Amino acid sequence: MSHQPARICAVITETTVAAAQQAIKRASAAADLLELRLDYLRDFDFTRTENLRSLLADKALPVILTCRAVDEGGKQPLDEAIRLPLLIEGAKQYADYCDIEAAHFESAEKLSPDLSKLIISYHNFAETPANLDAIYERLLTIPAAIHKIAVRANHLNDTLAIFQLLQRAEVEQRPLIAIAMNEVGAISRLLGTAYGSRLTYGALADDQTSAPGQFTCDELQTVYRINQLRRDTRITGIIGNPVAHSVSPVMHNAAFAALNLDVVYLPIAVADLASFFTAFVQPESRRMNWPLCGLSVTIPHKVAVMKWLDEVDESAERIGAVNTIVVAGNRLKGYNTDAQGAMEPLEKIGALKGQRCAVLGAGGAARAVLYGLTQRGAKVTVLAREDRKARLLADEFQVQGAALDTFSQHDFDILIHTTPIGMRHHSEGESLLEPAALAACKIVYDLVYNPLETRLLKAARQAGCVTISGLEMLLAQAALQFELWTGQKPSVELMRHAALKKLGPAG
């Protein structure tokens, strides 16, 4: 495996030989090599190594044979006297590598493995041990073609330990595969190969992942362009908690690719802002050596992030939240593209000056919308389930405030819904307003984008209102972020296409 680039390794986790054979064929379009997880197979005769001949008959990629022991994540108990010869002889005769756990090497050694085909691995599904360096050193005492360390990251700094290990291996010129599992380990799966890991593992389908936090090969290849990432590829990403289902990576990465920009956008699950900024962002303290150029900020960090920045632009200051960070040299500057992003879809329909606007909800998104509307001279009333909250916010932005249940007592041209009600996996199918209350509005705009047509928007459409989905804001605020980082305008249609694909056919 010294001949790089062989980077994406498709993990085959089928439970039948026939399905595994099909998957081996499919893998050649999706990956650079494949790992066949024999321990997943239910109808395979493990006692006969020559059974691998037909199983691997159609292999077009280099193959790693793996048959995990149960204590290292294996799917079925197998006698070591069967498991180890299968791997060692299988690699010699039919495959390119076998992966054997360091803990089981003593028995394996007696079987004279071909060291040029041996991957020696260490797994820890519970944590990233503090003595990872010592573990690595112990691993190195076992001769092998490649060493592998896969540990569970419980904190983003655990991922840092993986990058430090990769750096060490590179300096010492030792082939290493190093991965931090779990959602917080995602950046090691995405950037690891650019930073020296010999490969990163991917599933062939969403429901076939073999370890926590694993991406699909398709995501690695087409969304994150793993094979093109280098150490100097500029880094952007979204920080929030959680971020695994964010639509932003597919949108931004599609736009970077279309403009041929050497920039990648990563999902970065951040629970603790202080340690993230210290270890990964602040130029003077960071331990992660990467060319970070910008970040999107989402729930729950939009307000708290402000104290970590050197500068915050006027609109973000007024809104009281930052959704975009630009890293310019040693300075971190915060922006809020939500306000302009929220207004653009409305302004495409007409000017907002003098329009009577209802803003439902009094949270973070409402603040951005209020800022945008008041800047444009709209006549705004903010309505919240708690009258007190509505009035407090209204006073701050010098607009009217009222309780949500008084909605039908007012006349509005435009309704902007900024609560999460109606959102998928939250309260899908619900709406804060009865359809009859919408008839007088000309435009109904729901900031919720999943589903694309919420119950509120469906009722508004049926009442004859012009409707706007939250997807429009999502795209507009993302396009503005993209411009802040790159100075270039992205293709919004391409971003839309990527977002719709990720959201699924029904949005």
Calpha distance 444→275 (Å, rounded):
41
DSSP helix/strand/coil, 201: strand
Identified binder of ligand NAP from the candidate list 384, 394, 402, 456, rule CB under 6 A: 384
Q: Does 418 bind ligand NAP (CB under 6 A)?
A: yes
Identified binder of ligand NAP from the candidate list 185, 213, 364, 401, rule CB under 6 A: 364
Nearest Cα neighbor of 270 from 240, 225, 231 is 240
Residue 177 CB: number of other CB atoms within 10 A? Answer: 25
* x/- track of binding to ligand NAP for residues 319-348 (CB under 6 A): -------------------x----------
Q: Does 381 bind ligand NAP (CB under 6 A)?
A: no
Vertex 344 angle, CA 343 and 348, to 5°:
120
Q: Does 423 bind ligand NAP (CB under 6 A)?
A: yes
What is the closest distance, in whole angstroms, from the C-beta atom of residue 463 to ligand NAP in the complex? Answer: 21
Q: Does 389 bind ligand NAP (CB under 6 A)?
A: yes
Based on CB atoms, which residue is closest to ligand NAP, 160 or 366? 366
Calpha distance 394→405 (Å, rounded):
16
Residues 234-273 contacting ligand NAP, CB under 6 A:
none
379 is catalytic: no
Calpha distance 139→181 (Å, rounded):
19
- Six-digit token string for 243: 């971020």
What is the closest distance, in whole angstroms, from the C-beta atom of residue 506 to ligand NAP in the complex? Answer: 17
Distances (CA, A) of 14 to 51, 137, 219, 462: 16, 34, 20, 47
Q: Does 419 bind ligand NAP (CB under 6 A)?
A: yes
Q: What is the dihedral of CA 227, 232, 234, 235, to 10 degrees?
A: 80
148 is catalytic: yes
Q: Does 74 bind ligand NAP (CB under 6 A)?
A: no
Interacting residues of 350 by C-beta distance below 8 A, sequence separation 6+: none
Q: What is the dihedral of CA 445, 450, 453, 457, to 10 degrees?
A: -30
335 and 324 Cβ atoms separated by less than 8 Å = yes
302 is catalytic: yes
What is the closest distance, in whole angstroms, from the C-beta atom of residue 481 to ligand NAP in the complex? Answer: 11
Selecting among 104, 147, 252, 302, the annotated active-site residue is 302
Selecting among 59, 123, 155, 301, the annotated active-site residue is 123
Based on CB atoms, which residue is closest to ligand NAP, 65 or 404? 404
Q: Does 362 bind ligand NAP (CB under 6 A)?
A: yes
Residues labelled as active-site residues: 123, 148, 302, 338
Which spans of this chain sit near ligand NAP (rule: CB under 6 A)? 299, 338, 361-366, 384-386, 389, 404, 418-421, 423, 432, 447-449, 470, 473-474, 477
